[in-house]
Amino acid sequence: MKVKIISDSTCDLSPELIEKYNIGIMPLYVNLGERTFKDGLEVTPEDIYSYVDDNGRLPSTSAPNIGDFDNAFRYWRKLGYEIVHFSISGDFSSSYRNACIAAEEVGGVYVVDSRNLSTGQGHVVLYGAEMAEKGASAKEIQEACDKITDRVEASFVVDSIDYLHKGGRCSSIAALGANLLKLKPCIEVIGGKMTPSKKYRGNIDRVIMNYVTERLSGRDDIDTHRIFITHTRCNPEIIKQVKAEIKRYFDFDEILETTAGCTITSHCGPNTLGILFIRSE
């Protein structure tokens, strides 16, 4: 039976990748005050920057509801497809739970908790999409993708903790101290949760290059099929330097640049950059 790959919008895959692998996207909802928009369709990261600048507070996000999933799943099932749906980590959102409830009602739908977000999730989605292209069944894809989620290494360096402060993820005193000391935290996804790790200090461009070097140097456990550079409003010249630095260490089949969507933007703000890859077995 044919297999349809679907992901919620937090995977941050580019339009080109979505088209190439024929991936269906289920948008989360982004709430700007009293107004609600579909992520990626009716609202963009630029809208979030403007909203924060104008209002001094962050938007909120909400998962697709069970009815949204039910409608989407039934549409593809009627067309003769089995479905594999990928969600943002169940620790971040009710998207996974809602998809599972709808999947049980519809049947023929296999749901994968990516245990990640952004292109950490995107890695798992593309892994499944490539299996589908080779003729794997939906169940085989789900089982294989469940096994690789713990091997995805996702992290980001954040220029300013203002967005983290507005979102209640650090205190006013901590925010003030970090800004005065020009600290740039690294946020990692570990066990399905976002965890602060190392704090860098100095100019964000220099910090980004130090971060990339530290993530890649001395490693022999990286799958060189694909790596993502995912960022929010970063200087194009820095992106070029990051690509060059990656090539110093590994010969990846693909180095893919993507712009982070509304979820990462809401958490981290502009000038955030991460390199995301899969560890080898």
Domain boundary assignment for the chain: 2-149, 152-279
- Looking at residue 197, its pLDDT comes to 81
| Closest alpha carbon to 155 in 268, 48, 8 | 268
Confidence of residue 193 (pLDDT cuts 50, 70, 90): confident
pLDDT at 53 over 90: no
Query: Nearest 5 degrees, angle CA 11-CA 113-CA 211?
Result: 50
pLDDT at 177 over 70: no
pLDDT at 267 over 80: no
Residue whose tokens read 């965890």: 195
- Would you give the end-to-end CA distance of the chain in angstroms? 29
- Looking at residue 169, its pLDDT comes to 40
- Looking at residue 162, its pLDDT comes to 61
Please compute the mean of the pLDDT values over residues 255-259 and round it to a whole number. 96
- Any bridge partners for residue 229, and if so which? 257, 275
pLDDT at 105 over 60: yes
- Looking at residue 269, its pLDDT comes to 83
Please compute the mean of the pLDDT values over residues 179-186 and round it to a whole number. 64
> For residues 96 and 89, is the Cβ–Cβ distance under 8 A?
yes
Confidence of residue 181 (pLDDT cuts 50, 70, 90): very low
Higher pLDDT pick, 23 / 262:
23
Q: Which amino acid is at 49?
A: Y
pLDDT at 161 over 80: no
- Looking at residue 61, its pLDDT comes to 87
Q: What is the 3-state secondary structure (H, E, C) of the chain?
A: CEEEEEEEHHHCCCHHHHHHCCCEEECCEEEECCEEEEECCCECHHHHHHHHHHHCCCCEEECCCHHHHHHHHHHHHHCCEEEEEEECCCCCCCHHHHHHHHHHHHCCEEEEECCCCHHHHHHHHHHHHHHHHCCCCHHHHHHHHHHHHHHEEEEEECCCCHHHHHCCCCCHHHHHHHHHCCEEEEEEEECCEEEEEEEEECCHHHHHHHHHHHHHCCCCCEEEEEEEEEEECCCHHHHHHHHHHHHHHCCCCEEEEEECCHHHHHHHCCCEEEEEEEECC
pLDDT at 238 over 80: yes
Confidence of residue 65 (pLDDT cuts 50, 70, 90): very high
Residue whose tokens read 């938007």: 59
Query: Nearest 5 degrees, angle CA 106-CA 111-CA 115?
Result: 155
Minimum mean pLDDT among 80-84, 87-91, 144-148, 163-167: which range? 163-167
Please compute the mean of the pLDDT values over residues 243-263 and round it to a whole number. 95
Please compute the mean of the pLDDT values over residues 239-252 and round it to a whole number. 97
Confidence of residue 201 (pLDDT cuts 50, 70, 90): confident
Q: What is the largest CA-CA distance in the chain?
A: 58
Can you name the CATH fold of 152-279? Hypothetical Protein Tm841; Chain: A;domain 3 (3.30.1180)
User: Considering the domain 2-149 in this protein, what is its CATH number?
Assistant: 3.40.50.10170
Higher pLDDT pick, 163 / 222:
222
Structure tokens at 29: 């909802």
- Looking at residue 182, its pLDDT comes to 60
In whole angstroms, give the CA distance from residue 281 to residue 21.
Answer: 25
- Looking at residue 97, its pLDDT comes to 97
> For residues 120 and 148, is the Cβ–Cβ distance under 8 A?
no
pLDDT at 180 over 50: no
The rounded Cα 11 to chain-centroid distance in angstroms is 4
Mean pLDDT computed over every residue of the chain: 90
In whole angstroms, give the CA distance from residue 278 to residue 48.
Answer: 30
